[in-house]
Amino acid sequence: MSSFIFSFAALLFSPFLLSIINRTKAVLGGRKGAPLLQPYYDIIKLIQKGAVYSCTTTWVFKAGPAVGLAATIICVFIVPFGAHPAPFAFSGDFVLLAYLLGLSRFFTVSAALDTGSSFEGMGASREAAFSALAEPALFLALAAVARKTGELSLSGIFHAISAQGWGASSLPIALLTTTALLIIFLAENARIPVDDPNTHLELTMIHEVMVLDHGGMDLAFIQYGASLKLWVLGAILMGCLAPGRPDTSWLGGAAFMGGMCALSVLTGVIESSMARLRLVRVPQLLSGAGGLAALALILVMR
Amino acid sequence: MSDIKLARIKNAEPLSLDSLPILNTREFQDAVIASVAKGARLAALFGLPARIGKAVSASMDIVTIIAVLIRGDKGVTEVAGTEVKDSYPALTGHIVQAHLFEREIAEQWGVRPEGHPWLKPIRFHKGCRPGKDVWARPENEEISPGVTDFFRVEGEEVHEVAVGPVHAGIIEPGHFRFQCHGERVFHLEISLGYQHRGVENALINGPDKRSIHYIETLAGDTTAGHALAYCQAVEALCGHKISARAEEIRAIALELERCANHTGDLGALAGDVGFLPTASYCGALRGDFLNMTALICGNRFGRNLIRPGGVIFDLDGIKTDELMARLEKTFAGVKGAAGLLWETQSVIARFEDTGRLSKKMCRQLGLVGVAARACGVPLDIRSELPAGAYTKNRPAVCTFKTGDVYARAYIRWLEIERSFHFIKDRAENLAEDGAKAGMPVNPARNNSLVVSCVEGWRGEICHVAITGDDGRFVRYKVVDPSFHNWMGLQMALRNQQISDFPLCNKSFNLSYCGHDL
């Protein structure tokens, strides 16, 4: 039962991570920043608005946000809350998780192509190209930790990691895996250095440009889905990092929540301290992440 | 010698029309080409529907084309004219930098430059000579901006991306066509004209009370620059000498405008690569510079400060102290914020080698201002054709050799630094001979021509005024630096990533309304 409560807490709490990132950026930029509940206000505002549909679009355009959100919500129930097992934990659940994210992406890309706009087509092509590089990196990283712990479900893996810890001998593996996962986390969530969530320049966008034509409820779904994705990938990264050895009590849950907040602050700091990469360099960064993860896997299999 | 055919005049020095050489078309072409070959650049090339002899006589059959060239090495401008009817051999084939001027002449006066390689309208308005239209468009047909043929690259994998005229963010309208192969840009064509207001026509029969207001709003961010160019022209025509103190206050306003815009640009460049610290701080610091202008005249953009005859607001001791205190503080802020840019590897990686223009290309296209100096071409009206306060104090010209976004950003920083020292030096040593403006009492000289150039923050601003028998303008030509530089942006984008376009665009930061007039 408690595992469901934790998952619902994740559903409720995830937009707050965006607030933390934005507040961190504001403070480091010498600004006051938006209210902490702004992402919630935005979602509520958008839900109350009507959507406008171009007559060139078909059902695919409308299905994009709904399928995208649905797939990401299922992911929240698969990803464990730190050492707490997820409500749905089974062998190979991380394969389902990766492909649910893939399904969500497939529909977002299809909806973007459905508009027939050259901007959205460009965004779709970039998203497809970059995710093709990010996905193997994610699998390799998860394969490394699965092999290390001998578990085949995310809940099992993270429980094992927090129970045993990484230990001094496997520190390189931990370092390689978490670095790869951090890069994937930043890339998949359209953060700097890969994408700039704040830009208004269509020609430079990756993720944002695909959703330019969505409005109202659809955009609310997309924004909420994005915050859930931030949670899911953040939770995988934090699960691998395993700060301390949290038990399965409420205190462990609180510690995990603190870890997620710290990750958001770190994201804000990264965004405040460096510029975006040139778009042609992004594949190099993502293949780099894949390389690190592959190295981790080799070290584990050794 | 061919260059003897061109009349040489100084910046803001009137020339009687009977001393203006009117050559035949062949001589005119040879003289202009020879002058450009000697290192001159075309500052203006425009027509007026009149014959120019001892006086100006309006005519609907004859268009007189006047060329204004700047010879920086000699510190003079060279002018000459020629009379044409409905067509003449284009200069563009010999001098690339004439291409947009000739398109403008074709559009305004219905005169065809024969052999122009890409003769299209630039502002999409009706011609000023009824019945004469180079493109034979029907009289009653409405002309819409952007409706024209565009350069196209054909091929299965080539695609076209159209951006604008409505853009994201608060910027002016303009239409951009990219011919892309994947992420790579083969060619960019920019089509403007959405902001055309007919300012040049509205200025005819001036100078009057309204003229200065048209001038101050030619390009809102270059108020001081254009106002200064206009006042220099009017004062020259009226034979009015303004006080040294007024000249210095004008120069301070011009340099504050430069600092404010350059600071804003550095922030915007940082914003475009997603580097937040400089973006946030420069946004605020730009406001501080604007507020310094407001301290002098009560308007952040320097409106109602510069007027024919002097300046309306004086800088008294208290204001000067306040200005100096704010200037020091703001400059220290800009130094820090800009310093962060040069120290951050990820920023340099984005700036370097993006949107590179060669020195040769720059000279061919006749680029001016920051864009030219970033290519290593040392153009600066303040030292080439100094007028006013700059005759005694010429800020050193800053150049950089790489011609990329980094160079254009770094030039901006260098210029902020030099403008800071200039303002400080001028404000502390203001002449004591009164600054208040009164319209010049003398009427403007009749049948005269004056060329007035100012180095605005974007680059060289050139105003050419021609007066008729009654001493009123029969033609007032305005050339904003953006007019020269838009083509530079198009060429800088070749073989670049389309995702780098906003960054390149910001590194030029050209004016739409300054081009559209």
Say yes or no to pLDDT of A296 above 70: yes
Burial (CB count <10 Å: 0-12, 13-18, 19+), residue B343: exposed
Q: What span, in angstroms and rounded, lies between the C-alpha atoms of B256 and B249? A: 10
Q: Which of B168, B350, B354 sits opposite A201 (nearest CB)?
A: B168
Q: Which of B160, B162, B272 sits opposite A201 (nearest CB)?
A: B272
For position B54, what pLDDT does the model report? 78
Expressed in angstroms, the distance from the first to the final Cα of chain A is 39
Which residue in chain B is spatially nearest to A205 when comparing CA positions?
Answer: B499
How many domains is chain B built from?
Answer: 2
Classify residue A227: in a domain, yes or no: yes
Cross-chain Cβ contact A203/B163 below 8 Å: yes
> What digits encode the pLDDT tens for the residues B120-168?
999 998 888 888 888 888 888 888 888 888 888 888 888 888 887 988 7
CA distance B6 to chain A (A): 47
With beta carbons under 8 A apart, name residues in chain A contacting B273: 275-276
Residue B472 φ/ψ, nearest 5 degrees: -105, 160
Say yes or no to pLDDT of B328 above 90: yes
Classify residue B281: in a domain, yes or no: yes
Asked if B314 and B433 count as a contact pair (C-beta separation under 8 A), the reply is no
Percentage of chain B exceeding pLDDT 90: 61
Say yes or no to pLDDT of B66 above 70: yes
Expressed in angstroms, the distance from the first to the final Cα of chain B is 37
With beta carbons under 8 A apart, name residues in chain A contacting B499: 203-204, 278-279
Q: Taking residues B401-429, what's their average pLDDT?
A: 92
Asked if A121 and A113 count as a contact pair (C-beta separation under 8 A), the reply is yes
Q: Which of B86, B114, B142 is a domain's end point? A: B114
CB pairs under 8 A between A and B: 90
With beta carbons under 8 A apart, name residues in chain B contacting A200: 168-169
pLDDT band at B393 (very low <50, low <70, confident <90, very high): confident
User: Do B225 and B101 have their domain in common?
Assistant: no
Q: Which of A25, A28, A203 sits opposite B498 (nearest CB)?
A: A203
At B22 the three-state DSSP class reads: strand
Higher pLDDT, B67 or A241: B67
Q: Which of B49, B81, B114 is a domain's end point? A: B114
* DSSP letters for B250-277: HHHHHHHHHHHHHHHHHHHHHHHTT-HH
Candidates B346, B352, B496: best to mutate against A (most CBs of A within 10 A) is: B346
Q: Taking residues B329-338, what's their average pLDDT?
A: 94
Classify residue B500: in a domain, yes or no: no
Partnered with residue B70 across adjacent β-strands are B41, B77
For residue B165, is the peptide bond before it cis, meaning its omega torsion is within 30 degrees of 0? yes
How many domains is chain A built from?
Answer: 1
Say yes or no to pLDDT of B505 above 80: yes
Say yes or no to pLDDT of A285 above 90: yes
Place of tokens 């202009």: B32
Q: Taking residues A207-235, what's their average pLDDT?
A: 92
With beta carbons under 8 A apart, name residues in chain A contacting B354: 278
Residue A86 φ/ψ, nearest 5 degrees: -75, 160
Residue B430: partners with Cβ closer than 8 Å, 6 or more residues away? B245, B248, B249, B315, B320
Q: Taking residues B387-416, what's their average pLDDT?
A: 91
Q: Which of B159, B347, B497 sits opposite A118 (nearest CB)?
A: B159
Residues in A whose CB is inside 8 Å of some CB of B read 25, 28-31, 118-119, 121-122, 125-126, 192-193, 196, 198-204, 271-281
Diameter over CA atoms, chain B: 71
Q: Taking residues B29-40, what's their average pLDDT?
A: 91
Q: How many residues make up chain A in this entry?
A: 302
> What digits encode the pLDDT tens for the residues A169-214?
788 888 999 999 999 999 999 888 888 888 878 888 888 888 888 9
Candidates A208, A270, A276: best to mutate against B (most CBs of B within 10 A) is: A276
Residues in B whose CB is inside 8 Å of some CB of A read 159-163, 168-169, 182-183, 270, 272-277, 279-281, 284, 344, 346-347, 349-350, 354, 497-503
Taking alpha carbons only, the member of B467, B378, B369, B382 closest to residue B11 is B382
> What digits encode the pLDDT tens for the residues A105-155?
999 999 999 998 888 888 999 999 999 999 999 999 999 999 988 889 988
Classify residue A8: in a domain, yes or no: no
For position B3, what pLDDT does the model report? 47
Partnered with residue B71 across adjacent β-strands are B76
User: Do B108 and B206 have their domain in common?
Assistant: no
CA distance A290 to chain B (A): 21
Candidates A25, A194, A274: best to mutate against B (most CBs of B within 10 A) is: A274
Instruction: Return the half-sphere exposure (C-beta side, CA atoms, 13 A cut-off) of residue A95.
Output: 6
Classify residue A157: in a domain, yes or no: yes
Burial (CB count <10 Å: 0-12, 13-18, 19+), residue B495: exposed
CA distance B275 to chain A (A): 4
Residue A164: what residue type? Q
For position B333, what pLDDT does the model report? 94
Asked if B161 and A118 count as a contact pair (C-beta separation under 8 A), the reply is yes
Classify residue B146: in a domain, yes or no: no
Q: Which helix (H) or strand (E) holds B454?
A: strand B448-455
- What is the SS3 string spanning B127-149? CCCCCCCCCCCCCCCCCCCCCCC
Classify residue B60: in a domain, yes or no: yes
With beta carbons under 8 A apart, name residues in chain B contacting A275: 270, 273-275, 344, 346-347, 349-350
CA distance B274 to chain A (A): 5
Classify residue B282: in a domain, yes or no: yes
Q: What span, in angstroms and rounded, lies between the C-alpha atoms of A16 and A21? A: 9
Q: Which helix (H) or strand (E) holds B476?
A: strand B473-479
CA distance A95 to chain B (A): 32
Which residue in chain A is spatially nearest to B278 when comparing CA positions?
Answer: A29
Asked if A18 and A222 count as a contact pair (C-beta separation under 8 A), the reply is no
Which residue in chain B is spatially nearest to A197 when comparing CA positions?
Answer: B274
With beta carbons under 8 A apart, name residues in chain B contacting A122: 161, 183, 498
Classify residue B292: in a domain, yes or no: yes
CA B94, B476, B26: angle at the middle one, nearest 5? 30
Cross-chain Cβ contact B274/A30 below 8 Å: no
Check residue B395 and report its DSSP letter: P
Say yes or no to pLDDT of B354 above 80: yes
Q: Which helix (H) or strand (E) holds A86?
A: none
Say yes or no to pLDDT of A25 above 80: yes
User: Do B330 and B424 have their domain in common?
Assistant: yes
Q: Which of B72, B90, B114 is a domain's end point? A: B114
> What digits encode the pLDDT tens for the residues B82-115?
999 888 999 999 999 999 999 999 999 999 999 9
For position A247, what pLDDT does the model report? 64
Cross-chain Cβ contact A272/B161 below 8 Å: no
Neighbour-count burial for B324-337, b at 16+ CB within 10 Å, e otherwise: eeebeebbebbeeb
pLDDT band at A294 (very low <50, low <70, confident <90, very high): very high
For position A197, what pLDDT does the model report? 82
Q: What span, in angstroms and rounded, lies between the C-alpha atoms of B466 and B65? A: 13
CATH number, domain containing residue B107: 3.30.460.80
Domain extent at residue A243: 52-301
For position B2, what pLDDT does the model report? 46
- Helix intervals (H) in chain A: 2-28, 38-47, 59-78, 93-114, 118-149, 154-164, 171-188, 216-241, 250-273, 282-301
Taking alpha carbons only, the member of B267, B239, B216, B218 closest to residue B413 is B267
Q: How far is CA B303 from CA B235, B295, B298, in A?
A: 19, 12, 8
For position B465, what pLDDT does the model report? 93
For position B129, what pLDDT does the model report? 85
Cross-chain Cβ contact B502/A280 below 8 Å: no
Classify residue B495: in a domain, yes or no: no
User: Do B206 and B58 have their domain in common?
Assistant: no
CA distance A188 to chain B (A): 17
Asked if B449 and B349 count as a contact pair (C-beta separation under 8 A), the reply is no
CATH number, domain containing residue B224: 1.10.645.10
Asked if B449 and B15 count as a contact pair (C-beta separation under 8 A), the reply is yes
Domain extent at residue B83: 2-114
User: Do B86 and B210 have their domain in common?
Assistant: no
Q: Taking residues B31-38, what's their average pLDDT?
A: 92
With beta carbons under 8 A apart, name residues in chain B contacting A25: 276
Say yes or no to pLDDT of A254 above 50: yes
